[in-house]
Amino acid sequence: MPGDPRPIGVFDSGMGGLTVLRALLARLPLERFVYLGDTARLPYGTKSAETVQAYALQASRLLVSEGVKMVVIACNTASAVAVGPLTEALAPVPVIGVIEPGARAGVAATRNNFIAVIATEGTVKGGAYARAIAALRGDIRIVQQPCQVFVALAEEGWTDTRATHEAADHYLRPLFRGPSPPDTLVLGCTHFPVLASAIRAIIGSSVALVDSAETTALAVAEALEGEGLGSDGNAGGAGATRFFATDSPERFARVGEIFLGRPIDALSVELVDLRVL
């Protein structure tokens, strides 16, 4: 059976979702991708659920207009409130968010049934990870910590500085001291994987670190296989990515390099206006 050469669509409120794209490119080298960063309207975490759903639908419509075979919501806030509405609106195009895969991986990793989740304030307040984990295993204890400063540090490229380590110590040490701390930490924000070194320095080597970008890439790979949508690479363009941004392609390229782990040509980033969709 021939492969499906159509690209996979990925969107986020900004650049953090490029960690998800980075994991997708590594796991699915034969696929092509379209990435949209809604940089004109970030952050989503401060918006109402209704507004985020509207933004997510506009972003998804752009991706669908580009002929994608699947939509990946590489944003925790949008995943928390928009997976259901998008699944219904975009059918039969499959929709995958980052929260469910991260929750499943956290449940699989814990041995003492105690999981810590760090995320933005909006994601923590919304409780999406806590609900997803509880739905899988009701006996697991969960502690959550908003780490808003991590977002700014990541976007400045301060991935392994004194300030980053001090912030990690401030946020994480209280969670992991005591006789029975969590044995698993879920990175509930797509910005946080680039800070893994500073985070690991505080929590130690024995704590399982769950990267929602990696777990989402695995979920996408499984969905492609299950639905027969995988590419065989014969159509060419394997690993190629088109980039869209809703504001400042130059800044998208400059900051996005931190998260994608490779240079982005600003001239290749297409400026779009989602409000007309």
Which residue type is seen at 110? T
Catalytic member of 107, 172, 187, 189 = 189
Q: What is the DSSP letter of 192?
A: G
Please, are residues 109 and 60 in contact by the beta-carbon 8 Å criterion? no
User: Sheet of 71-73: strands edge to edge?
Assistant: 95-97, 71-73, 8-12, 33-37, 241-245, 269-271
How many CB atoms are closer than 10 A to CB 20?
30
**Backbone φ and ψ of 35, nearest 5°:** -115, 135
DSSP 214-243: HHHHHHHHHHHHHTT----STTS-TT-EEE
Please, are residues 217 and 28 in contact by the beta-carbon 8 Å criterion? yes
189 is catalytic: yes
CA atoms of 37 and 55, how far apart (whole Å): 11
Nearest alpha carbon to residue 166 among 114, 202, 112? 202
Catalytic member of 75, 133, 213, 245 = 75
Which residues are known to be catalytic? 75, 189
